[in-house]
Structure 1
């Protein structure tokens, strides 16, 4: 492969004829002609898989350069906001279900309909899966895999404690008792049953859906009241006081990354997250992890779960290379060899052709993920309306902040509930 004038030098990593992954977290593939940027967040494992697929893409499309950048945690959204303000969004960038509506309405994304079916092939996708990334009749991104909310647990810790782990039928009351028992049975300092989950918006979402409510309403406001918020916060405060959750100083270490989650840090026996992240969690966990659904309000009641695109590739609205970017996304989700590299780390493939091709060769952890997604088939509800503008600010600046203040004892449950509703409404109005 010939290195062009556009070759990308990465710190001390130097330039190679393949790709380079430097201390900055950036990766580059050097080719001639078109040069595109791709930006995503995630673990080192995700970066390696993405790099490998982009290298494969170059081998089959030697006239296109892809310069990749991986950013950790909430820093990704800060970087994206800065890029939007400067009208310099990456040609290809990663979103998720709760952000695609918001960012498409803010003008960050390019509608992809014009590239279907020539550059972007989606004929192996069920129509309902394409609907997950369609807003106001336009396709703003392509889902990279299917997932849902989930709960992970340390199988060895439960076995050692002789306590039955949670299942897909576990209620919230039963979960609380299990968490308290695990804290006591473990007999270790700085180790607890589970997280202080009051600050997780997707868990609150499921909690509300189990009760016939929603996190956000169809008109773009919040879908719950102070009574719902009070019940939510009271549950977690009661569980914290009983010793079933990590304390505030541990929970606030969670920067929305795998490595900072209390389960991955070895501080708890259970953790709440998204199903596709089992692969990443297992890489940093010394013990085998199990996966099951979030607790539910009552036996046989609604689960609050729904299928969602785990992650999404979108194209930047200011790109000069829309067709090439669409071609890269199409390769990412349709190429069988690319599918084998990616596995299910970004979710179970949405293309039926890719899914069928890779399933026989998945490792045990990946198979757990697929079995979990299949388990949900008769448990999921309807996909919610697109999240409104301001939904990310609600998550980061309102729910997490209020939950942390409560956990540290700075406010009481009733005040936390009132602040969540009042500040939540204000944030969404400003969104």
Structure 2
């Protein structure tokens, strides 16, 4: 069923591309090569990421003689383009991959196992701890190489925390988040300023994943054909989430989305103390504000922490690759080359090579260095990483966020929302 659905999505994407040709802001650049070899590399990201990656690719071509044709765009257009290319058996050799799409691509035989390249030393992971790679392995097959590590975190406004004497050291609870934000809202609004509360930042699904792990459960069962948590766990989470929004400890869904698609986040303009985000998002947030920002761990549940280190994104080789050895050489270069990583500046996440991390720790700005330190400190608050999510995860996530919107707007009770999600998720996964 999932494969048929994937094929349908590909066909629809091809159809829509006829009417949206050129609208995805695709840029293609070819770097000069010297030895006749050539690969295509695709990634999504900001203009800053594009510029740094192009500079690193120029260095790669200079050192290896391998020509690189680059295909990059923003997130919204990226996956539609890849789906169209997959339908035509024309995927790039190297794909910047997101965790949520990994199983989907693999289940449709679109990715190459990288383990032979690792075993042969073509992709050198000798300076990489297993914790940075474990979520990218299915059975004995390696589907990607982490392009940088991060973890789900709470980014908070240090200046506001100090001004209002808020303590966010590890150990604070979900109920503490409610109390802190209710009290802050009352004080700051009394001073004539806006305060919207805890910014979920469209990460309710990721935070729920941590919540179920704190209950020793998983979002998906071991077979990947249904949910792996008790419905009451989701009811409890939805009850807390609804209370946060309904009582003013968190912004309305519409207010949150206004910031989510805009240029600023609430913590940048001082209308929120904290938000959920991937740890490497601190770098972009800090660039957009004069407030001092920092990272802290997710809330505890009865003293239990359940976070884990994960790839912020990864590099995979597609099954359409015409030169897999050159593709592997590219991934190895981006992982281990010191000069290239000095150019990239850990923008994709904390480098997985300990040698690269050590070198960059003396060069990166304060915000980036905080992301390095956060992953080092997080080891005391983690559980083993989740396996790769099953095919259908992107649909399940979309269902979850849609139901969350209904919940926040008071259109569903926590009980009704939980039951609806479980039914929809099980239907998607079966």
Indicate the TM-score class for this superposition, using the shorter chain for normalisation.
0.7 to 0.9
Alpha-carbon distance between aligned partners in 2 of 1:400 and 1:132, rounded to the nearest angstrom: 23
- Between 1:63-72 and 1:225-234, the stretch displaced more is 63-72
Bigger RCO (CA 8 Å, 6+ sep): 2
| Structure 1 residues 199 and 150, CA gap change in structure 2 (3 angstroms) | closer
| Structure 1 residues 413 and 246, CA gap change in structure 2 (3 angstroms) | same
1:141-156 to structure 2, matched below 5 A, reads 141-156=144-159
Alpha-carbon distance between aligned partners in 1 of 2:202 and 2:312, rounded to the nearest angstrom: 22
Q: How far off is 1:126 after superposition?
A: 2.8
Q: Per-residue CA shift, 1:100-125, capped at 9, x if unaligned?
A: 23322222211123333353222222
| Structure 1 residues 181 and 344, CA gap change in structure 2 (3 angstroms) | farther
- Between 1:200-209 and 1:61-70, the stretch displaced more is 61-70
- Between 1:348-357 and 1:79-88, the stretch displaced more is 79-88
1:343-354 to structure 2, matched below 5 A, reads 343-354=345-356
Q: Per-residue CA shift, 1:250-300, capped at 9, x if unaligned?
A: 223476x795755457653311011122112222233221110111112xx
Alpha-carbon distance between aligned partners in 2 of 1:322 and 1:264, rounded to the nearest angstrom: 43
- Between 1:379-388 and 1:31-40, the stretch displaced more is 31-40
1:17-416 to structure 2, matched below 5 A, reads 24=25, 26=27, 28-32=29-33, 33-72=36-75, 74-116=76-118, 117-160=120-163, 162-187=164-189, 191-196=195-200, 200-220=204-224, 221-253=226-258, 259=263, 262-263=266-267, 267-298=271-302, 301-396=303-398, 398-416=399-417
Alpha-carbon distance between aligned partners in 1 of 2:264 and 2:28, rounded to the nearest angstrom: 24
The answer to whether the 8 A contact 2:305-2:382 is kept is yes
Alpha-carbon distance between aligned partners in 2 of 1:423 and 1:334, rounded to the nearest angstrom: 43
| Structure 1 residues 197 and 209, CA gap change in structure 2 (3 angstroms) | farther
Residue in structure 1 matched with residue 419 of structure 2 by the alignment: 418
Secondary structure of the equivalent of 1:227?
Answer: helix
How many aligned positions are there? 401
Q: Per-residue CA shift, 1:173-214, capped at 9, x if unaligned?
A: 111111222323332665312124685221101111112211
The answer to whether the 8 A contact 2:155-2:275 is kept is yes
| Structure 1 residues 139 and 180, CA gap change in structure 2 (3 angstroms) | same
The answer to whether the 8 A contact 1:41-1:70 is kept is yes
Residue in structure 1 matched with residue 14 of structure 2 by the alignment: none
- Between 1:180-189 and 1:149-158, the stretch displaced more is 180-189
| Structure 1 residues 128 and 376, CA gap change in structure 2 (3 angstroms) | closer
More helix by percentage:
2
Structure 1 gaps of 5+ residues are 1-22
Alpha-carbon distance between aligned partners in 2 of 1:249 and 1:42, rounded to the nearest angstrom: 25
TM-score (norm 1): 0.86
Secondary structure of the equivalent of 1:230?
Answer: helix
TM-score (norm 2): 0.86
Alpha-carbon distance between aligned partners in 2 of 1:177 and 1:49, rounded to the nearest angstrom: 42
| Structure 1 residues 370 and 114, CA gap change in structure 2 (3 angstroms) | same
Alpha-carbon distance between aligned partners in 1 of 2:27 and 2:385, rounded to the nearest angstrom: 34
Q: How far off is 1:239 after superposition?
A: 1.0
Q: Per-residue CA shift, 1:390-419, capped at 9, x if unaligned?
A: 1111112x1110001111222222211111
| Structure 1 residues 190 and 321, CA gap change in structure 2 (3 angstroms) | farther
Alpha-carbon distance between aligned partners in 2 of 1:266 and 1:26, rounded to the nearest angstrom: 36
The answer to whether the 8 A contact 1:35-1:67 is kept is no
